[in-house]
Structure 1
Amino acid sequence: AAARPRALSGGQAQRVALARALAVRPGLLLLDEPLAALDAHTRLEIRAALRRHLAGFAGAAVLVTHDPLDAMVLADRIVVLENGRLVQEGEPAEVARRPRTDYVARLVGLNLYRGTARAGTVVIGDPGGDGGQRTLDTVDSLEGEVFLAFAPAAVALYRTRPDGSPRNLWWTRVGAIERHGDRVRVQLSGPPFAAVADVTPAAVAELQLSEGSGIWAAVKATETHVYPA
């Protein structure tokens, strides 16, 4: 009896498909969500293999993905589309460091606000609007319309008002709590503005964090990054 063909695993199938595509030495290679159907461990292996193959590929490669890590690891240049509109493009490091929309900021894991910089402070929000405003201190000397960003890990949470009262300090409420790798991501619902903080599981227990609970949040001026809007 003839032997039955063996079924390929997800990772094996991806390797075979890539080898076939590269065998004909194309001038253009289109990769549409190449890692989407893989489990986490296999995705790590295939991503590394794909990076090696693309490094030696003489043609142009276009990668379409919803995974920011795939884009950051595999691409030389990133083009971000939001609702069918191009909102940002540039080298991965530049996009990750200077997001220009809330959508891009979420992809690269930063808190992002737009405001007006003056004399080492940035006024967030519309002073004449109904949403109120918030002034954050920075160490940047820019003037005019700017973006201000900081990492979730830069946000410190306190059960009671901290001694010394850091300049960037506000009272807010917990909107949601979810596991994020080996950390816990805490959504701060505002006012004066929404933010995301990353803390340890031990901190969640120590601070008795739960949805709706009040909390003090602080960000050092040195942890903020300001750039032209």
Structure 2
Amino acid sequence: MHNVVILPALGDNYIYLYRYDGQRVFVVDPGDAGVVLENLQKHALDLTHVLITHSHGDHSAGAKKLKAETGATIFSPDSSAIRETDCDITDGQTLALPGSPVVVIGTPGHTSSAVCYYVPAGLDRPQPLLFTGDTMFIGGCGRIIGATARDFFDSLCRLKKLPDETLVFPGHDYTVENYEFALQVEPGSKVHEKRLAELRKISKQADMVPSSIGREKRENLFMQAGSAEEFAELRRKKDIFG
């Protein structure tokens, strides 16, 4: 069990509730407070912390209401943009939540201050978890905004060093589109053809996740880029593709 409740929201966003201490949970990237509050009430959960990966509204807009309704502590990498922030977090910091330490990994690229959240393996979670926001999607990555291709390439290289079994929970469902793009770049790829066929049979957005670091290293073209220049060219092509 990975203890993660997957909440599709806003069309193609993912919000995540992580149950870490009985009925206590933290939430990652609450772009829609209503979806979160509904699930807290439905399952009698106590929200203690809000973890935000970057400042864009579709990942942070619900923070203000959640803080007002639950008293949760807001962690973010950009308090200047997210005024409700209680604690500015930085690369390498460990959030010492009871029974579930969360490590902050700085991943500039999509924004200059973007982070990912890494939950190491533990007694109730045999595999580590990674919440990637818009840094890495299944089969893809976010657009370059406010940083450089070199920054983004270096950030993905950091993620590649995590254990292959790490489960990946991205901020959006662009999965089918990403594999369609991969086939445009590598026509006839049996790996991408097979995976795309599997994905097209999935009807529920929540069933698209999680992926794993190992799978992303094998199938995600952006994770396979050998240089910042190669990464930048791939991202330019993807920007045109969609």
TM-score of the two chains, using structure 2 as the length reference: 0.28
Larger Rg: 1
Which is richer in strand?
1
Relative to its length, the structure with more helix (as a share) is: 2
* TM-score between both structures, scaled by the size of structure 1: 0.29
